A and B are shown apart, each in its own frame.
Chain A
Amino acid sequence: MKQYAEAFTAFNRDAENGWLKSQRIAAFARFEYLGFPTSSVEEWKYTDTKALAKREFKLATGYNQSAAAELFASKGLTLDAYRLVFVDGLLSPELSNLEGLQEAVVIEPLSQALATELELTCGMMGRLAGIDVDVFTALNFAFVNEGAVVRIGNNQTLNKPLLITYLSMANDAAVMSHPRIIVAAGANSELQLIEHFIGEEEAQNLTNRVVEGIMERNAKIHHTLLQQPSDKEWWIGRIQIDQKRDSRYTSHQMNLGGKLVRDDLVCDLNGEGAECDFSGLLFGRNRQHMDIHTLVNHNAPLTNSYETYKTILNDRSQGVFNSKVIVKKDSQKIHAVQNNANLLLSDQAQINAKPELEIYADDVKCAHGATTGQLDLDALFYLMARGIGEEEARGLLTLAFANEVIDKLELPEIYNLVETTVAGQLPHKIELELTQ
């Protein structure tokens, strides 16, 4: 706690704007009040933050340009997209590229937006992910300085995807970053947002990123999260989406890296006809701990939500899957489906799953299913009877298990990246022929 207080005082001392300064102070007070969650907090029952609390992190003051460029070139996505790149939480202007942005669309770094359009930015910031949401969200708010503001005007379709890449570097002292992404999608607008987290092998930083998305009537957001930093990285993420009438939010959360991962996704379906569709993959190895929490609030009638999550756990990894659907009173004609399948590849791996439903309206159709098991022995036998070795057959079946969610990734570059990463992390290596 002390180290955070010191870092915070130094960080906020020189803030130019009084309002922002006081907001940050309130946020930090909230963080101090809540403290790191213990297992007696239901939301954190299975995820122990003790080890994280003991770590020391500093705010990055600069970065090595060539190392960042090298990392981006080797692990970053090559995609025709608008690019924003952050290195240890700092904007990298030389790797970012927002050229050719169409009219009625604003994409800018948060630091810039805070400097030039403070009122507008502050009006949006914290509306969904305020300091009361969670302790890490409060911490993010206390250190808020960098990230992105994305505003898509009415009836606009962003002509290229927006790719935000976060690089985590191996520094002498571990650093922390608290990026915040604010997206405001106007009526009938559409945008594809891709977030990519990568890092150097030895990086052991804390990334605590927050996304706030406000979606007007009939807006569409396709959100892909590729979370694959080093296995020593501490990664906390939160996405909060507010959906108006007929809007549609699609999310793909691919959690493949990190030492301790906590991924929160919350959608408020506030207008009739709003719909959200989540899919995700959790692939844990070694001693990784991965925790995914989703929450869908059906605040309006005629709203739908769909969730499909797959977990593969090997070695001594631990997985947590917790999804919650709340149907408010008078939110009639609801369709909600939660699907969760878990595959344990090792006896030391552990999964804790909790698909919850809280329903206060009667005209609903809600279902959830959660299964945990091992590979189908009949399927294994079938493959082996056709001359495929056991190792390879196991690999194929594991990949096929993950494919149900990987298949939903539409861009071939992303699809290929995820599939090869998953295939490469399998205990039983298999050869892949990539689809181009």
Chain B
Amino acid sequence: MANEEMEQLVRTEYKQGFVTDIESDTLAPGLDEGVVRYISAKKKEPQWLLDWRLEAFALWKKMHDPQAWANIEYPKIDYQAISYYSAPGAKDKDAPKSLDEVDPKLLETFEKLGIPLHERAALAGVRGVAVDAVFDSVSVGTTFKKELAEAGVIFSSISEAVQEHPELVRKYLGTVVSQTDNYYAALNSAVFTDGSFVFVPKGVTCPMELSTYFRINAANTGQFERTLIICEEGAQVSYLEGCTAPMRDENQLHAAVVELVALDDAYIKYSTVQNWYPGDEEGLGGIYNFVTKRGDCRGDRSKITWTQVETGSAITWKYPSCILRGKDSVGEFYSVAVTNNYQQADTGTKMIHIGEGSRSTIISKGISAGKSNQSYRGLVKILPSAKNARNFTQCDSLLLGDKCGAHTFPYQEIGNSTAQVEHEATTSKIGEDQLFYCMQRGISEEDSVNMIVNGFCKDVFQELPMEFAVEAEALLNVTLEGAVG
């Protein structure tokens, strides 16, 4: 493909890059104890939570930016230049009580992003999806709450959960990702503003897919959300998460924490389609996505599945992990990460096997294009207690173009002779014979590449819930458009 043609194609628009012009209540940039108190007061939080935040903040101040070990590069973040709270709506107005009161502009924004916030009757044969929409620092609304409540499922923003179910939040918050877990988790613990809370009681299978949609809108803000999902004995839930942000020249920080708790026989499926603004083709702007996600398979035979499609963000630093504590517990990680232009991604997973007979599967597919760099960093740790533990890891990288990089850093720490651990990884470009085969059947070069790339990712896409799988495939095509020539 000619160079100009290629360049034109690379300039594919980031469709979600618009800004919603809406009045907002934004805290001035800066970070000190006062900010932590302000956020807590704004959310009318109980004293214990404020104490917890302050404790985290004190610990964070003592920690260091973990720049050294990850295979990513970025200028030092000025934490004083970020605003830690921004909510749509005028300062003195109360938060909307129901979806009907929500500013139509907001609803329009989510509509534009393809996330309907009205409880439209589900299409025949398709189950509805309950959505919690988070706009900058606050949740603007949660749909299908009534239907879910009937089934016994609690699905709300975490701020609401703190008010309505403080005992549950207090019991589980910070038990999977502690305040001191890492630099960004500590920061998040101090200043988290919103996120989703899911509680599925014993024996209940959540009747519909739950999803949260994160949107950064305001400039100079960071988004610090915290999600907590708990599945009691025998409960099941499938949760999806999506995210976008406007195109801006400066970098914005997104430091989230996600904690999953699965008790005996519970199953949590957590899927992410991450499409934060990746920056322009010169590497200007974009979101820093520094996220801590961890699931705790506390119960016997519990299971946690992470599925992620990572196409956005200027920098991704993310390792959704599983602590396989329960006997015969299962952890799964399916990931497709795509980087283009100057994007950087250091992503992977950790599987910590503690329980007897625990099993884990890791399938990671990385695609690098343009001048991007991508690393898979994974840990499989098998403790002496994890008799007959089993792990299978496969991480494949596909390189599109000669200026990008793909790296693999798999750690295996095995302390049990009955463990069986397999790891395999390959790195290559699209085979010319594959391309030739498709093209000589009359398929254009671009379509052929898309087809091959989609095939490369199939193992992961088929793990995604139906609605997301379609979106993910489309997203992949857009992200890579023009990257091949």
**A residues engaging B (CB < 8 A)?**
42, 46, 329-330, 332, 342, 344-374
Instruction: Write the chain A residue with the least CB distance to B422.
Output: A371
| Pair A373/B410 contact, Cβ less than 8 Å | no
Closest Cβ of chain A to B400, distance in Å, is 7
Q: Decide: A359 and B421 in contact? CB cutoff 8 A.
A: no
Please tell me if the beta carbons of B424 and A367 are within 8 angstroms of each other in the complex: yes
Binary contact readout B382-414 vs A (1 if CB under 8 angstroms, 0 otherwise): 001000000000000101111111111111111
Residue of chain A at shortest CB distance from B418: A374
Taking CB as reference atom, which chain A residue is nearest B427?
A: A366
Residues from chain B with Cβ under 8 Å of A352 in the complex = 411-414
A364 touches B428 (CB 8 A): yes
Q: Is B203 an interface residue (CB 8 A)?
A: no
Cross-chain contact A356 with B410 (CB below 8 angstroms): yes
Whether A364 contacts B417 by the Cβ 8 Å rule is: no
Interface, chain B (partner A; CB < 8 A): 69, 384, 397, 399-429
A42: nearest chain-B partner, CB-CB: B69
Query: Contact between A330 and B402 (Cβ–Cβ < 8 Å)?
Result: yes
Cβ 8 A contact of A359, one of B69, B406, B416, B422: B406
Which of B403, B418, B422, B425 has the most C-beta atoms of chain A within 10 angstroms of its own C-beta? B425
- Looking at B397, B406, B418, which has the most chain A CB atoms within 10 Å of its CB? B406
Q: In the complex, are the beta carbons of A359 and B412 less than 8 A apart?
A: no
Closest to A367 in B: B426
**B419 and A362: CB pair below 8 A?**
no
Chain A residue contacts of B422, Cβ below 8 A: 369-373
Residues of B within 8 A of A357 (CB): 397, 406-408, 425, 427
Contact of B399 among A347, A348, A359 (CB under 8 A): A359
Q: Which of A332, A363, A374 contacts B417 (CB 8 A)?
A: A374
How far in angstroms is the closest Cβ of chain B from A369? Answer: 4
Q: Is the CB of A371 within 8 A of B428?
A: no
Which chain B positions have C-beta within 8 A of A367? Answer: 424-427
**What is the CA–CA distance of A352 and B417 in the complex, to the nearest angstrom?**
13
Distance in Å: Cβ of A379 to nearest Cβ of chain B:
14
Let me know if B427 and A359 touch, CB within 8 A: yes
Q: How far is the CB of A352 from chain B (nearest CB, A)?
A: 5
Q: In the complex, what distance in Å separates the CA atom of A349 from the CA atom of B382?
A: 12
Alpha-carbon separation in the docked complex, A354 to B421 (Å): 13
Contact A362 B402 (CB under 8 A): yes
A351 touching B414, Cβ below 8 Å: yes
Q: Is the CB of A364 within 8 A of B429?
A: yes
Partner of B410, one of A342, A349, A363, A370: A370
Contact of B412 among A330, A354, A363 (CB under 8 A): A354
- Selected from B69, B400, B420, the residue in CB contact (under 8 A) with A362 is B400
In the complex, the chain A residue whose C-beta lies closest to that of B428 is A365
The 9 closest A-B pairs by CB, nearest first: A362-B399, A344-B417, A353-B412, A372-B421, A350-B415, A370-B423, A366-B427, A357-B408, A373-B420
What B residues does A329 contact at CB under 8 A? 402-403
A358 touches B405 (CB 8 A): yes
Please, which residue of chain B has its CB at the minimum distance from the CB of A362? B399
Residues of B within 8 A of A372 (CB): 412, 414, 419-422
Most chain B Cβ neighbours within 10 Å, of A330, A346, A354: A354
CB distance from B245 to the nearest CB of A (A): 29
Evaluate contact between A351 and B412: CB separation under 8 angstroms. Answer: yes
A380, chain B: closest CB distance, angstroms: 14
Complex Cα gap A370–B414 (Å): 12
Whether B429 and A363, one on each chain, are in contact in the complex, defined by CB atoms closer than 8 angstroms, is: yes
Provided the pairs A348-B384, A359-B397, A362-B401 are in contact, do residues A374 and B420 lie with their beta carbons within 8 angstroms? Answer: yes
Contacts beyond the supplied A46-B413, A352-B411, A370-B421: 7 A-B pairs with Cβ under 8 Å:
A42-B69, A342-B414, A353-B410, A355-B425, A361-B402, A368-B424, A369-B423
Q: Which of B384, B402, B407, B427 contacts A332 (CB 8 A)?
A: B402
| Complex contacts, A368 vs chain B, CB 8 Å | 408, 423-425
A sample of 17 inter-chain contacts (CB < 8 A) reads A344-B417, A351-B412, A352-B412, A354-B412, A355-B425, A356-B408, A357-B427, A360-B404, A360-B405, A364-B399, A364-B427, A366-B426, A368-B425, A369-B424, A370-B423, A372-B420, A374-B417
Nearest A residue to B404, CB-CB: A362
Q: What is the bound-complex CA distance between A359 and B366, given in angstroms?
A: 12
Give Cα distance in the complex from A332 to B428, angstroms.
Answer: 11
Contact in complex: B402, A363 (CB < 8 Å): yes
B424: A residues at CB distance < 8 A:
367-370
Q: Is the CB of B409 within 8 A of A356?
A: yes
Contacts of A356 in B (CB 8 A): 407-410
Q: Are B416 and A347 in contact (CB under 8 A)?
A: yes
Report the separation of the CA atoms of residues A351 and B414 in the bound assembly, to the nearest whole angstrom.
Answer: 5
Min C-beta distance of B484 to chain A, whole Å: 10
| Cβ-defined partner of A344 (8 Å) among B69, B399, B407, B419 | B419
Closest Cβ–Cβ distance, residue A347 to chain B (whole Å):
5
Q: Are A350 and B418 in contact (CB-based, < 8 A)?
A: no
**In chain B, what residue has the closest Cβ to A45?**
B411
Q: Find out whether the CB atom of A347 lies under 8 angstroms from the CB atom of B414.
A: no
Set B400, B406, B407, B413: member contacting A350, Cβ < 8 A: B413
Check if B420 sits within 8 Å of A350, measured CB to CB.
Answer: no
CA distance A108 to B137 in the complex (A): 73
Given A351-B412, A359-B397, A362-B401, also A346-B417 (CB < 8 A): yes
Measured CA separation A372–B414 after assembly (Å): 8
CB–CB A359/B405 < 8 A: yes
What residues of chain B lie closer than 8 Å to A342, measured between beta carbons?
414
Taking the nearest CB of chain A, how far is it from the CB of B456, in angstroms? Answer: 14
Contact: A358 with B407, CB < 8 Å? yes
What A residues does B413 contact at CB under 8 A?
46, 350-352
CB <8 Å contact, B412 and A370: yes
Smallest Cβ distance from B233 to chain A, in angstroms?
Answer: 31
Question: How far, in Å, is B370 (CB) from chain A's closest CB?
Answer: 11
CA gap between A345 and B422 in the complex, in Å: 17
Give the residues in chain A near B415, CB-CB below 8 Å.
Answer: 347-351
Nearest residue, chain B, Cβ from A366: B427
CA–CA, A367 to B426, complex, Å?
A: 4
Q: Assess whether B402 is in contact with A354, with CB atoms less than 8 Å apart.
A: no
A371 to B422 Cα, complex, angstroms:
4
The residues of B that contact A364 with a CB separation of less than 8 Å are 399, 427-429
Question: Chain A nearest CB: distance from B360 CB in Å?
Answer: 13
Residues of B within 8 Å of A351, CB to CB, are: 412-415
